[in-house]
Each structure stands twice: as structure tokens, then as C-alpha cells.
Chains A and B, each alone.
Chain A
Amino acid sequence: MRKSTFNLIILLAFVINTGINAQPVYPTTGKNGMVATAHPLASSAAIEMLQGGGNAVDAAVAAAFAIGVVEPDGSGLGGGGGMVIYLNDEKQSYFINYYGRSSERATEAGFRYGHDNSTALAIEVPGTVAGLIMAHETFGTLPLKQVMEPAIRHAEEGFPVDQTLAKLILDNIEKVMGDSATGSVFLNDGFPLMEGEILVQKDLGRVLRIIAEEGSKGFYDGALAKSFVDGIRARGGVLTEKDFLSYKAEMTVPLKGTYRGYDILTANIPQSGISLIQGLNMLENFDLRASGHYSESARTLHIMAEVDKLIYADRYQYLGDPDFVDVPVAGLTSKEYALERFSSINQSKLDPPRYRDAEYGNPRVFQQKKEKILVHEMEPADGHTTHLSVIDKNGNAVALTQTLGLFFGSGQTVSGVLFNNALTNFSYNSENVNYLQNGKRCRTSITPTIILKDGNPFMVLGSPGAGRIISTMIELVVNVIDFGMDVNDANIAPRFYCQKFEDYLHVESGIKPEVRAELELMGHQVKVYEGIDLFFGGAQMISVDPLTGVFSGSADKRRGGIAIGY
């Protein structure tokens, strides 16, 4: 009864907040727990766990399984991700990389970027199940069956399609229709499910039940894994049973940095926390507050855009799977290197005039003092995307981002599981550190992050948005730390995006027209997005008031999420 009542409240909030007459989503506050996800039913799954005596990891794992059901375009069992965990009592932090790994036969497949993006050739070995189960087994307190129950319920009983999902089905209709098994899930009478129609995923529910019963083994070993391999190979893919059997999520430590007195714990390589740290290090050399908010100051926005451009250039040049390439982590995250890179920025005009001509730097010169970065030191020993943030009453926090690659991944559904197209994340330039090799992890933009103040959680955040994730993350952090915004204002503030491999400076229309005009005069080619746009991500944020300990949550209005506290 309590669960039904609670879900009724959540669904009511869902209707109010996602209907055609959507109202603003205000930050929710609480002292016992807070969760922000891209879907109200995933948020409610997490709250169910917290109210049932679980900790932040139980809640995050429940939400992660649930979000893969109720936001099936962005993540799911067939994808991968990364999660930063902070245990407040122990003051210990962990990073679980559960992004996919290319097949042992990947290079034989002849995958062609673009041409094969929506085919079985694009599928990597999925890591979501291994990662979530690893987190639960290591840090969870509730039984796995209890943690997975909301996901199973929503898969088997169905849930109403929200506006975001309805739109994404329409936007990706060729992919959805391209595979009959995928079409059978997302089409009704041969046409896309619309907002309000009920999406039932019985086959997915069956797989979730197997995982709840057997754990990771049920997914990666045995009859289910064989059915995945058979289905993928029948569609032209090359994954093998050995690929599934040998897949392991990896538990390490987060990459660590600082920004204006705050400690940053973020996704380790080859995920993109390193770019967040580098960007923030560069911005420490500039008085953002004095220069004015980027929506009102062309100079601020120009400098932040130039920082973005340089960190993306370095990321492209240096970031790859550390099992295959030597990534200069210490150099890229050093304050000295950041100063050198920042000093190269022309603060009054775009220089060089084309973003694509931005050059990468030489972080290896700055490697010396922190050469022994904790990339491979395990703690403990064995150890297109959605984001969710969770904190519990003890201050334990989880920032978790997971993905299928592009929306609806490869578009290929096998045994109820929609598989990723993460092979699209590799470089197909044989000179690049992220070049596709067998059994390799790709570089990915995901950047789940926890920020501490004096050893206590201050912010938990992350975003989907492919290449925009890193710039969005930097904007969110400076909005709170430099410009003193609360999480809701920081989240709804207009965004921009720029990088080396772009021809435009992309901005939301909330960036003032006079600022845009001045940016044009500085040499930028500005592309405007009216209002707010999903293009710039869908951030889920939590902040903790250092004085009162009260949590505030904010789900991004660019995506139909909701923050719930209690």
C-alpha cells in the first residue's frame, strides 16, 4: 500500500512535470536522502531503497537497473557506464568502469563508422550488468532481488511513455524499425508508441529476473549469453561467448583534482573526468566571477570556449585505454600544464580562427612529480547515456553515468536486451591512441563526478550528451562554485559547447543576443538553439549545504527527469 501510494505521488509529479503544459521543476530538498535521475520511476526506485534501509549504492543500483527499463533509449543491460562512489564514513572513494570492451574479434568485423552504426557490427561486450552487480556485491546492503524489483516491475507491468521517449522514438524511427525485435518493443501497429501509451518489455523482464536470481553469471555465462551471441552473430556481429565470459568490470579509484578549494572525484581514464579536471585547472587562472557570467559576458564565454577547445584537443591526442596506451595523466592534470595551456589563449579573439586548427599541448613535460598516479592501483584489490546522482542520510554518494552509445544503441534487440553501438566511440585513425583494437575499452565522454568540501560531499553530478558532456560539466561546476548558483539555477542556466572538431560555437538562446553578437565579432561562428535543448545534455545534480547538511536536487528540464528527496 505504501509503495502504491508513493508511486502514485511520483506519477502525479511525472504528469505535472512532463506533460504538454510542463511546469518548472524546482529543487527538492531533504536530509535523509536525495536522488536525481532522468525518469521519475527510476528516482522512485532509488527512494524505495533508501526508505527500505538501503544505502546510496543500493539506491543507485536500483535506479540504474530501473532507468534502463523506463528510459530504454539511453541505457540498459546492453550498454555500459561508469560510477564514482564516495563512502562518507570511511572517507574512501571508488570508481567502477563498466564501459564495454571490444570483442576479441572486433578488428575482423570490418566495422565502418557511420555506415554500420546501427548494426550488430557496432556492438561491444556490454558492461552494465557486471558493473552494477560489482557495486552491489561490494557496497550494497539490501538483497539483489529487492534492489532489482522496481526494474522488473516496470518491465513486466509496463509504464506510460513520456514525452522525451516518445520524441526519441520518432527521431530514431529508422533505427527502431530496422530490427524487428526492437520494433516489436517500441512500435504499436507498426508505428511509434506515443506519449501516454504503455510500454511493456516482457522479455527484458525475464532477463532481469535471471540476473536477480543468478547475478552477473546469469548474464555473461550460460544459456542467456549463448542466446545473445547467437542473435548478434545472426545479425552480422562478431561477439563470442568468450567475450561475454571474460568481461569484467574494473574497480579502481576516481581521478582526483582540486578546484578553488574543492576536491574533485571523477571518472578515471579512458572516461573523461581527466578533461573536466584539466578544464577546471585552466579556469583557476581566470577570475570568472569578476568577468561575469558567461550568459552575460562574451569575454567569459570566449575564454571558457577556448578552454573547451584545448582540452578536447588534448583529449583526442592523449586519451585512450591505459591497457593499450600510455596516457600522461599526471601531466594532463597538473596545475602547471593547465597554466601553460591557459596562457596560450588569446583572450580577445578566436585564435587560431578555425576551431579545427587548435593544437594539442605537451603534457608529458609536466609528468614528473605525479608520475605514479593511481590509475591502476586497485582499491579494493579486485577490483548517449543517462546520469543519476544519489546521496543517503550518511553522506554516502554515487554519481553514475551509463549509456548505449547513441540513442537506442545499435538498434539491435536480442532476447529482450537492446545492445549498444559503442564501437562508434573508437577512433578509426590508426595513428590515434583510441584506435580500435581487439579487447580494448574506448575513450568515452562520460564524466560522473563527486565534489567534496573539507572531506564531505558538496556536489554529486553528471550528464549525458556525448561530446557535450565535458563542456556541460564545466559549466555546471562554475555555475555553482564561481557564480554561487543553487543546483536548479545552475542546471537551467543556458549552455554552450565548443571543441576542436566543431565548426560552430553552439549556444542556447539564453546566452544574451549582445553576447552572441560580440562573440561573432571575436571570430566565433555562433549556432543558436532556441530555449533549452537536449543537445546540451540532461544533468542530474545534488548539492549539500555545508552548514545545514540539507540536500538539494535538480533534474534537468532538458530531459524528463525528477529529483526526489525526503
Chain B
Amino acid sequence: MKKIVTTSAITLVLLFAGSSLLAQKFEQPVLISSAGQSADVKLVKMLAQRQGLDATTILMAKPADLKGFKSLVIVPGFSSKGLGAAGVSQQEEYERVESLIKAANDLKIPIILMHIGGNARRKGQSDSFNQIVADNSKYMLVVRQGDEDGFFSAISKSKNIPLTLVDKIAETAEPLGNLFK
């Protein structure tokens, strides 16, 4: 099963990556942040640790926090509980993410989207975060359930952004680690 997943992932990468994949390199250290304050970012932190990445997690990262980092992983997904804990509104969170992405682009720090929450982080209030992060990413790593309607595949295709789809959250670890090898 794992082999099938890897094969399909590679297929998708080859389909949509184009020349940008070959040109794109991801380097450490890595800043991990949230877009929407879902708890998913904590799982990504764990995945990064398991892969031995030199990664720092700042849930509410601001442009100034990018200093010293060479890659930015953003985990999109809306959580009213998370926003409440952070003490910010959805609009304020969106504006923070927008400014973080703009700063990363200005500094030429590549953005990796990691969407691991499946249906639970699609539609509703999540998709505005999914959209802005996907549109600005250089690579997308997505648990397949979150792409059942082709949301990420379509962005990947139209913007020539490599996309890796896996079946389970645990299966994102290896491709995440491979991005930095």
C-alpha cells in the first residue's frame, strides 16, 4: 500500500511539477506556522521532529520572525477554538497570514503548504486560508481526503506547483523529510 501511495505521489509530482520542481530547493532551518490556528500545526511540528528537521514552530509568526529561516511551512486550517485561544479574529488572522506570505515572497523564502486535516479543514472558514497559502506555495503536501473535490490539484495544475497527495497524516512525514534532502 505504501508503495502505491508513493508511486501515485510521484506521478502527481511529475504531472504538475514541470520544471519548477527541479529548480526549487528547500533548505533548513525551517519556520512552521499556522494559517487559521488549527491544532494541525502541532502535528506538523511532530512530523518535522520525527524527520530530524531543524524546525521552529511559531503559531502566530509575523514577518519579523522569518529572519534566519530558509523555508516556511504553513499549515492552513480554520479553528474557532484556536483563534479564541490566540485572541484574534478570523480577519486579523487572515491579515497576519497575508503579511507573512508577502514577507516570505519578498525575502525569497519558499513556502510549503501542508494540509493534513482532510475534510475537517476544508470548505467553510478554512478555504480562504487554504487558498491564499496554496496560491503562494512552492510545494504542496496534502492528505488526500482534503483534495477529494480537486481543490489543491486544480491549483497545482493551474499554477504549476508540485503536489504530493498521501492517504494518511503519518505518510506526510517521509515526503516532508525528502524535500530537504
Contact = CB atoms under 8 A, between A and B. Distances in A.
24 contacts: A20-B122, A20-B149, A166-B118, A170-B38, A170-B39, A170-B40, A170-B43, A170-B120, A171-B38, A171-B79, A171-B82, A172-B39, A173-B43, A174-B39, A174-B42, A191-B43, A191-B168, A191-B170, A194-B118, A194-B168, A195-B120, A530-B90, A530-B125, A534-B80
Contact of B124 (A19, A21, A174, A531): A531
Contacts of B124: 530-531
A533 B80 contact: yes
Contact of B117 (A170, A174, A533): A170
Interface in B121-170: 121-125, 143, 145, 148-149, 168-170
Given A191-B43, A194-B145, A163 B120 contact: yes
Given A20-B149, A530-B90, A194 B169 contact: yes
Nearest to B78: A530
Interface centre among B38, B42, B120, B124 (most CB of A within 10 A): B120
B175 to A, nearest CB: 15
Interface residues of A, number: 27
B19 interface: no
A527 B89 contact: yes
A170 B120 CA distance: 8
A529 interface: yes
A510 B169 CA distance: 35
Contact of A20 (B40, B43, B79, B148): B148
Interface of A: 19-21, 163, 166-167, 170-174, 188-192, 194-196, 527-531, 533-535
Interface centre among B39, B121, B123 (most CB of A within 10 A): B39
B81 interface: yes
B171 to A, nearest CB: 9
B119 interface: yes
Contacts of B149: 20-21
A534 B125 CA distance: 12
Given A528-B90, A535-B80, 14 more contacts: A19-B119, A20-B148, A163-B120, A167-B117, A170-B39, A170-B117, A172-B39, A173-B42, A174-B39, A188-B168, A189-B170, A191-B168, A194-B143, A530-B90
Contact of B80 (A166, A174, A194, A529): A529
Nearest to B77: A170
A166 B39 contact: no
Contacts of B119: 19-20, 163, 166, 194-195
A171 B39 contact: yes
Interface of B: 38-40, 42-43, 77, 79-82, 89-90, 117-125, 143, 145, 148-149, 168-170
Contacts of B40: 170
A531 B118 contact: no
A194 B146 CA distance: 11
B125 A531 contact: yes
Nearest to A194: B118
A189 B168 contact: yes
Contacts of B81: 171
Interface centre among A194, A527, A535 (most CB of B within 10 A): A194
A172 B80 CA distance: 12
Contact of B120 (A19, A167, A188, A535): A167
Contacts of B125: 530-531
Contacts of B39: 170-174
A195 B79 contact: no
Contacts of B42: 173-174
A167 B95 CA distance: 24
Nearest to B143: A194
A189 B168 CA distance: 9
A163 B122 CA distance: 11
Interface centre among B118, B121, B170 (most CB of A within 10 A): B118
Interface centre among A19, A170, A528 (most CB of B within 10 A): A170
A48 to B, nearest CB: 29
Contacts of B117: 167, 170
A20 B145 CA distance: 10
Contact of B170 (A167, A171, A174, A190): A190
A171 B41 CA distance: 10
B50 to A, nearest CB: 9
B38 A196 contact: no
A531 B126 CA distance: 12
A21 B123 CA distance: 9
Interface centre among A163, A167, A190 (most CB of B within 10 A): A167
Contacts of A196: 145
A191 B77 CA distance: 17
Contacts of B79: 171
A146 B163 CA distance: 51
A190 B148 CA distance: 23
A173 B81 CA distance: 12
B79 to A, nearest CB: 6
Contact of B145 (A167, A171, A195, A528): A195
Counting from the closest, the 4 A-B pairs by CB-CB distance are A167-B120, A191-B169, A189-B170, A166-B120
A171 B42 CA distance: 10
A21 B42 CA distance: 28
Contacts of A533: 80
A533 B90 CA distance: 13
Contacts of A527: 89
Contacts of A530: 90, 124-125
B181 to A, nearest CB: 22
